[in-house]
Chain A
């Protein structure tokens, strides 16, 4: 991947004859990977504003001690829905959108391997989330047991709407499994003949690994919620201690899904960053091989560390020690990635367009999140951090930078390629700075809150936590409202009048097959396989 690919469009191809259908049918029946990618991205964008608004409601309630706006029951619904929608409705669909758009372009394939399945895996999502969000309008409470929905709070004590939640999780799981299946099959079978494994862009590698993670753990989640359903309605006692069941089993099953899920959320982001940093450093990615190995190692280790979410559950010391050591070990491959990105930047020829700014923001904040992750891995300290705001700060640093920032960086990076429109650089930079400042003002003080003893998921708090909570709320509003700039940029690029022609390569330092195609990308591409240098 060191030199620009030499593929040019075949002048005899008939791509322009097979344009898309018009009207809503285009989107409903489409099997085109670009259309489906667009659908995924817009869906996730809408969901981001929904879940973001919920987070802002939470922050308003926490602006000062005493009741501000929400009663505790509604507060719990907001934290639960915020978490569920951000994980399953924003990050995962956005990553799937990037995969749909980019994997065929990057590997020189005409489309995904299973295009109709692809359509279905997207169109399951709006129904799943309609069902989930509809619970907010039902007469009883919506799911209010946190996004981790620990039994028996979600089974014996769960509200009636929990059944809707269970089925929507089933639908999301089916959607993810199908999407992952499609991605694996595409990468294995649809690569251009000259696209060797070790020439694959890192984005494709990381999505391949992610897809295997999805295939392995989404069925576990489905099993978990099915057991909940059985406990709630069919008199089983999987998680009910009174019936001989085991509430801890729930936590084991959930986190066996939940921990790899964390890597599902960030590994594709690592791939995006590994594309962006070399472009704007004008220098090939440092240590490509080690980056690939590190991704695989992170994924494998991700399967064997789930109990570090359960250190305070009374686990025996042997289990705690093993899970602590295994968890600490993840710092090694993650460190390799960070060091390689820094080495890529080192002695490059750097420019700071918006995608690069977001990539650098990711690099710094993700490292900070990694540090707090190392602290949380130590069992004795974890006794103090567990379920406090320290953990909230930790996973927001990791996920906001590792997922949200990388998605935004990727969108800015490939937007000119997708739409043929260059975004307004000044606005993009403003968006970056406001987002970064807002994000840090929101989540940095949460470290202090957690260390000072504030538990997470409480709707009201003792007086000594007031100052930091107020800073957090101010930051959250900066963070949230600056996304409106992003909305404007996206809408303008998608629907605005085209002002000037963007070159094929778009960015001076960009390499890879997608940059050999015209901007905007034609509806059909690579009907004949390109030759990879």
Chain B
């Protein structure tokens, strides 16, 4: 019995090790691309090796006794059950080892807390279930949503390489720049975590926490929300693109709101055809609504009510628009007025009014199905 079992254990151990070596990309912390992540990595490895040494010591004594001091091998117990010297030794030595670990940890921590002399400040706000990035000095502000299609999550389509780790609008930062993050949340507690940057900062409503990173390598770095924040906690990834200063300046120029802001505004007010609205609306629905209300419009009641045959959707138009603009406080239904522009909003509402047989009910009620950006603007004004 014993032999059989020990063989099995051996087999499993060998299996695990070989499996690990062949199949898996990451089994350790990433070394990362910031000074912080590297210091953390070194501290982590130092602590790991110290644990290995202590473990080897303790377990060798244990294994030695387990083999040598068996009753079946004729071992008799010695009467030896107190030794002050030994107790002092194994109190003092671990204490000294701990001091040895605490010193580097303190130094690294001091470094992490130094947010001085940052060149770029980005405010990061966690929402159920997306991130908002505001470049305070550049005046750029946008939301960053999961961009993996629902079809991949529901196994109806092959999964892409960055399944669940891809977003529509990544955070873009220049390389070799100290970026200060001001992290907060709009609803519940979230955490902004990108392992390769060595940053994890809780986003807590009512608090603004500071953190920073200095990426010295161009590339795309991915992370996820690190604090349970509700049903779609697993579906709000973070993507940070570190680009050269030149590319960053170009990006800023492209996204700066004042350049052509007026034109932008009139552009979003231009009436659109039904087909345009539907295409725009479907895409926006998948991004902003589909995670909760589902592609089928059936939602996940009672937390997420269905939109199919919903009274809010099929009711008077202005009420419908106002509902999406202001949301329902204290629930996952956010005030999308701040998140979507008139054009996007018109598209999404048109799509919802059109889909799942809602159009038939709305026609019966003699209400319009198609919503134009001007309708949104009208309701926006009324609600302000």
Give the residues in chain B near A343, CB-CB below 8 Å.
83, 86
**Complex contact A437–B9 (CB within 8 A):** yes
* B250 CB within 8 Å of chain A: no
| CB-CB nearest 10 A-B residue pairs | A241-B206, A458-B234, A452-B26, A314-B209, A371-B51, A448-B27, A283-B77, A380-B108, A284-B81, A66-B155
Among A145, A328, A463, A471, which residue has its beta carbon within 8 angstroms of that of B159? Answer: A463
* B123 CB within 8 Å of chain A: no
CA distance A123 to B174 in the complex (A): 63
- Min CB distance B173 to A, Å, is 19
Of residues 33 through 73 on chain B, the ones whose CB sits less than 8 Å from some CB of chain A are 36-37, 39-40, 43-44, 47-48, 51, 54-55, 58-59, 61-62, 65-66, 69-72
* Among listed A194-202, A206-214, A286-294, interface-contacting one: A286-294
Q: A348-B75, A380-B43 are in contact. List 15 more A-B contacts (CB 8 A).
A: A73-B300, A73-B303, A141-B302, A246-B206, A284-B81, A324-B105, A325-B102, A367-B58, A378-B105, A381-B105, A384-B37, A387-B226, A437-B9, A452-B25, A467-B19
* A224 CB within 8 Å of chain B: no
Chain B contact residues, CB within 8 Å of chain A: 1-2, 5, 8-9, 12, 16, 19-20, 23-30, 36-37, 39-40, 43-44, 47-48, 51, 54-55, 58-59, 61-62, 65-66, 69-72, 75-83, 86-87, 90-91, 94-95, 98, 101-102, 105-106, 108-110, 112-113, 128, 152-155, 159, 161-165, 183, 187-189, 191, 193, 195, 198-202, 204-207, 209-210, 223-235, 300, 302-303, 330-332
Between A and B, 29 residue pairs with Cβ closer than 8 Å are A65-B163, A72-B232, A72-B233, A145-B230, A152-B187, A152-B188, A153-B228, A153-B230, A159-B303, A241-B205, A286-B80, A286-B81, A312-B191, A332-B98, A335-B94, A336-B90, A336-B91, A342-B61, A346-B69, A348-B78, A349-B75, A368-B55, A379-B105, A383-B112, A453-B26, A453-B223, A455-B224, A458-B233, A458-B234
CA distance A329 to B204 in the complex (A): 29
Of residues 457 through 484 on chain A, the ones whose CB sits less than 8 Å from some CB of chain B are 457-464, 467-468, 471
Among A312, A349, A426, A457, which residue has its beta carbon within 8 angstroms of that of B200? Answer: A312
**Complex contact A381–B225 (CB within 8 A):** no
**Complex contact B78–A460 (CB within 8 A):** no
CA distance A345 to B70 in the complex (A): 10
- Min CB distance A93 to B, Å, is 26
CA distance A335 to B201 in the complex (A): 32
CA distance A343 to B87 in the complex (A): 10
* A451 CB within 8 Å of chain B: yes
Give the residues in chain B near A313, CB-CB below 8 Å.
202, 204, 209
**Complex contact A462–B165 (CB within 8 A):** yes
* A182 CB within 8 Å of chain B: no
Chain A's closest residue to B106 (CB) is A321
CA distance A458 to B128 in the complex (A): 14
* A521 CB within 8 Å of chain B: no
Chain A's closest residue to B332 (CB) is A157
Among A2, A332, A352, A384, which residue has its beta carbon within 8 angstroms of that of B40? Answer: A384
Evaluate whether A342 and B62 lie within 8 angstroms (CB atoms) in the complex, with A387-B191, A460-B164 already known.
Answer: yes
Per-residue B-contact encoding for A124-145, CB less than 8 Å = 1, 0 else: 0000000000000001110011
Give the residues in chain B near A430, CB-CB below 8 Å.
1
* A9 CB within 8 Å of chain B: no
CA distance A459 to B188 in the complex (A): 19
Chain B's closest residue to A324 (CB) is B105
- Min CB distance A390 to B, Å, is 9
Chain B's closest residue to A351 (CB) is B71
CA distance A321 to B108 in the complex (A): 11
Give the residues in chain B near A245, CB-CB below 8 Å.
206
CA distance A253 to B209 in the complex (A): 20
- Min CB distance A472 to B, Å, is 12
Residue in A73, A349, A468 whose Cβ sees the most chain B Cβ within 10 Å: A349
Chain B's closest residue to A450 (CB) is B29
Among B48, B81, B95, which residue has its beta carbon within 8 angstroms of that of A332? Answer: B95
- Min CB distance B335 to A, Å, is 14
Give the residues in chain B near A350, CB-CB below 8 Å.
65-66, 69-71, 75
**Complex contact B26–A335 (CB within 8 A):** no
**Complex contact B233–A457 (CB within 8 A):** yes
